[in-house]
Amino acid sequence: MRFLNYILLLSIFSIFSIESVEAQIFPVTEGYVVEVENSDNCFPVIVTEDRQIFEVVQSDVKLTPGDNITFAKTTTQTTSSCLLNNQVVIYVINKNSSGHSIYLCDYVDCVTPGDANLDGQVSMDDMIMVHQRSGSEGMHRPNASAEFKEQYSADWETETYFGNNLKHLDADGSGYIMDNDLEVVSQNYNLHNEIEEVEYPVLAGFYVDIEFIEDEVVITDALAGQNSHTSAAINFTSSGQVLSNVSAISFQFSHSEEDFLKTEDIIFVQENPEFFEDDEEVPNKIFRQLSASENALDIGVSSLVPIGKTGIGRLGIMDFIIISDIIEGRSELEIPISIHIGDVKIHFNDGSIYTVNTNNDWDEIKIINQTYTDVKEVMSSDNLGLSPNPLLDELKIDFPADFDRSGSIELTIINTAGALMHSELLDPNQDAVLTLNDLSPGVYMLEVRSEKTQLNKSFVKL
CA distance linking residue 260 with residue 227, whole number of Å:
10
Which stretch of 157-166, 266-275, 353-362, 451-460 has the lowest confidence by average pLDDT?
A: 451-460
Q: What is the domain class of 377-461 according to CATH?
A: mainly beta
CATH number of this structure's domain 202-369: 2.60.40.680
Q: Are 113 and 172 in contact (CB under 8 A)?
A: yes
**In the prediction, which pLDDT does 431 show?**
67
pLDDT at 453: 73
pLDDT band at 94 (very low <50, low <70, confident <90, very high): very low
**Do 202-369 and 377-461 agree at the fold level?**
yes
Domain boundaries, the chain: 6-106, 109-198, 202-369, 377-461
pLDDT of residue 395: 87
Residues 130-163 have pLDDT tens digits of 999 999 999 888 778 999 999 878 789 999 999 9
Q: Are 141 and 158 in contact (CB under 8 A)?
A: no
Q: Mean per-residue pLDDT for 96-101?
A: 35
pLDDT at residue 391, rounded to an integer: 81
pTM, full prediction: 0.65
Most confident region among 144-153, 160-169, 388-397, 445-454 by mean pLDDT: 160-169
- Cis, bond preceding 27 (omega within 30 deg of 0): no
Strand positions, DSSP E, 107-262: 202-212, 216-219, 228-238, 243-255
Specify whether the CB–CB gap between 369 and 378 falls below 8 A: no
Question: What are the tens digits of pLDDT across the range 255-293?
Answer: 999 888 999 999 999 988 999 998 888 899 999 999 999
Picking from 64, 61, 65, 57, the residue whose alpha carbon sits closest to that of residue 81 is 57
Confidence check: pLDDT of 425 > 60 = yes
Q: Give dist(CA 462, CA 458) in Å, integer.
A: 13
Q: What percent of the chain has pLDDT over 90?
A: 40
**What's 223's DSSP letter?**
G
The Cα–Cα gap between 150 and 72 comes to 10
| Residue 427: count of CB within 10 angstroms of its CB | 10
pLDDT band with cut points at 50, 70 and 90 for residue 225: low
Question: Do residues 313 and 275 make contact, with C-beta atoms less than 8 angstroms apart?
Answer: yes
CA–CA distance, 172 with 184 (Å, rounded to integer): 7
Residue 31 has pLDDT above 60, yes or no: no
Kindly indicate the confidence band of residue 371, based on its pLDDT and cuts at 50, 70 and 90. confident
